[in-house]
Amino acid sequence: MTAPLNRGTLNPGTLNRSSLNRAALRGRTLRGAAALGVTAGLLVIGGPFLLWQRANLGLLRAGPQTRRVVSLTFDDGPDPRSTPAVLDALQAAGAQATFFVLAAQAEAHPDLIARMLREGHEVQAHAVKHRHAWLRTPWGAYRDPGEAARRVQSVLRGVGSDQAVTLHRPPHGAYSLFTWLGQRAAGLTGAHWSLEGRDWRDGQTPGGLRAHLRRALHPGAVIVLHDAGPGARVTAPALPGVLADLKERGYAATSLARLQGLRRVRRADLPARAMGTLDRLLDRATRTEPAGNLSDSILRVSPTRFPGPDLTLRGLTPGGGLHLRAGVPAAEYHANNALMSQLGPIRTVRVARQDFRRVAADLQRRPELRDAQAVYCQSAVTPILERLGFETHDLPPARKRRLRVWANVLRRAYGTRAPAQEPKLSVLSREDFLRLYGEGS
């Protein structure tokens, strides 16, 4: 006879099914935990990185580009070893700035805070702990903006100032959700920048910093530098030359409080920002540089081949026309759309006339432009270019339709609702362009 199964004996099939169920449960639990972790990471770090650290939504970032005024801002001070040299340079140039100070440093050196205020500068809050937001505990990141502002405000009152601490720039300009919540709870506005000096980089030199700012300078820029820490070893000796460059190019330097037109970044500003990013990416791919290699130029220039159609230019002098064939070396110029949209047609003509002189110098300075037989643009701003001496020709229908669609996309991104005019080809021979805009013209 077969012995009956003992009630305490496990069936092997039941054991295997039970093990599989437990393994499946563990797998679902791990997947759920991973999904929760990813969601939390996006909420606490990923979203804030995109919204505030990159897009600067709701933050102060830059003034309008219609006036040659920039705001100088300095982080991490005050430090008696380097801040006095920065203040000396600003005083000698008659420039004002905004200092984002560390709470403990401000408390330790109220005499430097008093000097900043006495000489017309603005003092705002940087941090209590100079630590990247992603490395802070949630509570620490939340408390830091408000505590820094209160302690800096106390120092200001102690030196007899009624200036209010209303701005906060977190270390590294970095945000987590809790940094933003802390700013909101303390009634502070985040202050970012549009031009980074990079004075803190390994190998940076005073001359390198000065050259970088000279190239990257643009109207309305909020420039971030350092009057303490690693960046100060570069900024302090470079600042007199930087300020001299600003004056030479007709720029004034002021604090954030005095930068006219400064406002928080809005959602409506983001399409133009996105287009600016796209322009920079395309420029790198096509060897396009701003005229004169200066970012405040309204024009950007690239080496290319003339796209056609074949045509004979009238020329500026009798018998001076050029038969221009598709495929010959040429220089194509593009507009700085962000700047042009703010200047308007009349001021655009005046600024472009000056910048075409930079293009003329580029034709002889840049090796890849030295063989260019013509200078041209395909655009919907033909009336402006005709006033600047260019002759106009029709484009092939398919190219005209494509360019008109793109022109309308650009106009919408930069806040213009009126449809673009018909794109045309505006062109001059190299000889005629240099006759109009070259040295001695």
* Strands 311-312, 323-324: pairing kind: antiparallel
Neighbour count for residue 340 (Cβ, 10 Å) = 21
To the query of whether residue 75 is one of the catalytic residues in this protein, the response is: yes
Residue matched to tokens 């024009």:
299
**Amino acid identity of 162?**
D
**Cα–Cα distance measured from residue 428 to residue 380, given in angstroms and rounded to the nearest whole number:** 17
Buried b (16+ CB within 10 A) or exposed e, 153-179: bebbeebebebebbbbbbbebbbbbbb
Q: Report yes or no: 334 and 377 within 8 Å, Cβ to Cβ.
A: yes
The pair phi, psi for residue 59, each rounded to 5°, is -100, 160
Structure tokens belonging to residue 331: 């220089």
Catalytic residue, chosen from 75, 144, 227, 296, is 75
Is cis: bond before 78, omega within 30 of 0?
A: yes
Catalytic residue, candidates 199, 226, 227, 362: 226
H or E element that contains 196: strand 195-196
> Measuring CA to CA, which residue among 79, 34, 98 is closest to residue 258?
98
Tokens 């449809």, located at residue: 419
CA angle in degrees (0–180, nearest 5) for 377-381-385: 65
Among 427, 436, 432, 323, which residue's Cα sits nearest to residue 382? 427
Burial 298-327 (b: 16+ CB within 10 A, else e): bbbbbbbebeeeebebebbeeeebbebeee
Active site residue 192: no
Secondary structure of residue 275 in the 3-state scheme: helix
Catalytically active residues are 75, 226
